[in-house]
Amino acid sequence: MASDESLDEIDLRVFEYIKRYDFEEYPWDTAAAAEKLELSVTRVYQALHKIQKYKRHELFVYFKDGGLRIQTE
């Protein structure tokens, strides 16, 4: 597993946001996350991509009931 050094400050902010909320029970809302984190939607998706790459054993992304679910270990 890669270290947190592979993730920049924004990626880590997005990861901490994910860990704070229950997106397994409730659908992920990229626009709401972007607004809350004061980032663009594109930047949130880029962070999710990097987090998924470098923390793939800690972050699980899947679809359920027509919505994106995100869960951390």
Domain count, the chain: 1
Per the CB < 8 A criterion, the answer to whether 70 and 59 are in contact is: yes
> What domain range is 21 assigned to?
4-72
46: domain CATH number is: 1.10.10.10
Determine which helix (DSSP H) or strand (DSSP E) holds 6, and give its type and residue range: none
Predicted confidence band at 2 (pLDDT cuts at 50, 70, 90)? very low
Global pTM reads 0.80
Mean per-residue pLDDT, 28-46: 95
